[in-house]
Every structure is written in C-alpha cells, then in structure tokens.
Amino acid sequence: MPLPLIKIIQALHWRYAVKIFNPKKKLAAADLNALLEAARLSPSSLGLLPYKIVVVENSAARKLIFEQASNQSKITEASHLLVFCTYRSYTRSFIDAFVDMFSKERHLSPEQTANLRKARRAFVKETSPKDLDEWAGDQAFIGLGILLASAAMVGIDAGPMGGFKPEVLDEILNLRRYNLRSRVLCALGYRSAEDAEAKAKKVRWPFKDFVIKIK
C-alpha cells in the first residue's frame, strides 16, 4: 500500500547521518533482512544489480576496519556494518547467469533469451573497464539511497561512510576472493542520546534553488 508523501518527507527530515550509535541497542534480524531486501529491490541499470552488500558480523574485522577508516566509532558501535561492493570484473558467466535467471522468471522464448544474452554481453564488451566501474558504483549508490530512505521510514538509523582505504578494507575482508571491491560503508542501528547531531537542524539548499523547471 502506498504511503502518504507527507509521511515519507517527515521520515527524511527525521533521518541524518548518525555519528554516535547506541551500542546496546541492536537491530532485529528481521529488520536487517528487510532493509537488505529493500536494497536488493532497488532500480538497477539493465537489471544487472552489479554489486553486493557484505554484512560484517565479525567483531575483530570491524575493529580492523575502524583502525584504518578514520577511527569512526560507528564502525564498531553500530548494531550492524554493511559494505557496498562492486565487482572487479564482469565475466561472461556473470552475464549468462543473469540472463538464464531472467529468462526463467519471465518465461522468455529461446529467441528472446538469445537476444537478451547478446545485448548484455555486448554492453560489457563494448564498455571500458573504467566506465563499467563507474557505472557499477552509480548502481551501488542507488541501492544505498533506497536503504537509507527505507530505514528512515521505519525509525532505524543509518550512517553512510567514506574515509577509508578501499584496498586495505578489501584485504581485511578478503574481497578479492569474491571478485569484489569496497565502495562505501553504512552503519545501521539506533542513535545515541549523546549524538548532538540528532538535534541539529537539517541544512539543504532551498527548494527554489535546488529545482530547475524548464517550460
């Protein structure tokens, strides 16, 4: 059922990039999985969803990430730490697996399947590695945005983060094993009463300066 737009706007006013989390308050597993599902259902160019979300549950790994990511306390104190990762390379097997899944779910004919496979393979072949990497990063940030908005609408706090060395984090989590590279972090949980940012006014460019209408 669609939510009233006013409720969505109110949730987005309520949310902010949490700096200090309450380490004693944990997300329920069902809530975490629902937010991950929201990200999975995000819009994605060509439907390929060219990224994965790694949930870092190992406390020792989170401490190592904390030490090389500007000592941001939310890395270790938040209920959960997510790492949005894109692929290092896009193999034919990756494309074929997607096409096979798509064909099965949409009941495509052999001819439709062949045409889809040809088009998706051509996209990867004709796009430079640099452009593919940028394209995949864009998709990952769409997923992050959907997750942040979804969390706000159910009263769950989040803190997206940069400020880390991807190559070091990749080594800590052994991401090369999965053909992945880290792009952005996101802490999930509940804000601490000690986080002064929670009461700070949200500052954005005025609506009239943000939106351009071409008639």
Closest of 77, 79, 53 to residue 66, by C-alpha: 77
Return the residue matching tokens 């070091």.
168
Domain 5-210 fold is: NADH Oxidase (3.40.109)
**Confidence check: pLDDT of 1 > 80:** no
* pLDDT at position 196: 93
Indicate the pLDDT class of residue 106, thresholds 50, 70 and 90.
very high
Task: State how far Cα 214 lies from the chain centre.
Answer: 32
Categorise residue 163: left if φ over 0, alpha if ψ from -120 to 50, beta otherwise: left
Close Cβ partners of 81 (under 8 Å, ≥ 6 residues apart)? 55, 56, 62, 65, 75, 185, 186, 187, 188
Taking only the tens place, the pLDDT of each residue in 144-157 is 999 999 999 999 99
Close Cβ partners of 180 (under 8 Å, ≥ 6 residues apart)? 52, 54, 85, 86, 87, 88, 170
How do the residues of the chain divide into helix, strand and coil, expressed in percent and rounded to 5? 55, 15, 30
pTM: 0.94
As a whole number of angstroms, the distance between CA 203 and CA 53 comes to 29
Mean pLDDT, rounded, of the chain:
96
Give start and end residues of each alpha helix (H) in 50-161. Answer: 59-68, 74-77, 92-106, 110-126, 129-153
Backbone angles phi, psi at 184, to 5 degrees: -155, 150
Indicate the pLDDT class of residue 15, thresholds 50, 70 and 90.
very high
As a whole number of angstroms, the distance between CA 143 and CA 91 comes to 22
Indicate the pLDDT class of residue 120, thresholds 50, 70 and 90.
very high
Taking only the tens place, the pLDDT of each residue in 32-69 is 999 999 999 999 999 999 999 999 999 999 999 999 99
Tokens of 85: 């990762």
As a whole number of angstroms, the distance between CA 99 and CA 110 comes to 11
Q: At what angle do helices 110-126 and 92-106 cross, to 10 degrees?
A: 150
